[in-house]
Amino acid sequence: KRPAGAPDEALAKPVSKVGIIGAGLMASQFALLFVRRLQVPVVITDLDQGRVDKAVAGIHGEIDKLADKGRVSTDEQQRLKALISGTVDKADFADCDWVIEAVFEELGVKQQVFREIEPHLSPEAVLATNTSGLSIEAMGSALQHPERLVGFHFFNPVAVMPLIEVVKTPTTDDATLATAMRVAKDLKKNAVITRDTPGFVVNRILAKLLGEAMHAVEQGTPFEDVVEAQRAFGFPMDPFVLLDLVGLKVGAHVLDTHHAAAPDRFFESKALHELAEAGILLEKDAKGEPKGIDK
């Protein structure tokens, strides 16, 4: 059965090479997924060669771990590694037909990235953004062809979370949307089409949950009590472990975005900003043992 709002699958364009802009943790996680599930070349770019090399080495390490666990054969281990490459030359994106960005969550940065890459792309290439809630329509205003832009929002940890939010803007065309739905299916994820509103669907809910958890602490409820209440309620992960997983800076940014969009409904968290700046892991904090980390 076709998912609600999905166009005819026959409109989907083939994807024979994937381009990824941004070599951070999230991008590295989905680079591995693309290469495993689509079995096509995946090229990653970022501002400098150092970041790109680090990401490629990290993904190679994850492939080695999969081989050690017997989840991929030795042959596949070598093949997957060979399919991943890094570059700082945008010309290497010329033959990519699916390009997804996961750079810093700031509208201006993302617009700049799209403005710079578009002249290097084939006219048929589809562009996707992994933004967790910024306006995709506003991002598309930087493009010559905003109709080929779609939201494609992964969740942490990418390997196990089953959902992708496919975000349709008023300008996204049917071929682009159909391609995104096909890619999600090929990645063996469940895709839900959402509107281009702040936080789409899932982060609206998570921002409420995590914002309220931080707010409870800021109002004096001990960390441990919030953790225990959520654990006993049956959530798969306590809110502070989840914030650690998402990244405190990202989490704080998501809360800010929601607060800016609807100040009457969402809290920003001063404490979360402070902890993010200090590089404290909330999980340790909740156990009363604050521990500095490199974020």
Pick from 247, 237, 242: nearest CA to 275: 247
For the chain, the farthest-separated pair of C-alpha atoms sits apart, in whole angstroms, at 55
CA distances from 121 to 13, 92, 151, 249 (A): 15, 9, 18, 32
CB of 54: closest distance to ligand CAA in angstroms? 18
Question: Considering the rule CB under 6 A, would residue 156 count as an interface residue with ligand CAA?
Answer: yes
Residues with Cβ within 8 Å of residue 125, at least 6 apart in sequence? 93, 96, 97, 98, 99, 148
- Which one from 60, 120, 145, 153 is the annotated catalytic residue? 153
153 annotated active-site: yes
93 or 266: CB nearest ligand CAA:
266
CB of 250: closest distance to ligand CAA in angstroms? 5
The token pair that represents 167 in the structure block = 């975000």
The token pair that represents 146 in the structure block = 């905003």
140 or 151: CB nearest ligand CAA:
151
Segment interacting with ligand CAA, rule: CB under 6 A, options 77-85, 181-189, 214-222, 242-250: 242-250
Are 3 and 193 in contact, with CB atoms under 8 Å apart? Answer: yes
Site for ligand CAA in 111-150 (CB under 6 A): 132
Selected from 161, 201, 209, 216, the binder of ligand CAA by CB under 6 A is: 161
Give the catalytic positions in this structure.
153
- Judged by the rule CB under 6 A, the positions of this chain that interact with ligand CAA are 132, 155-157, 159-161, 203, 206, 236-237, 242, 246, 250, 254
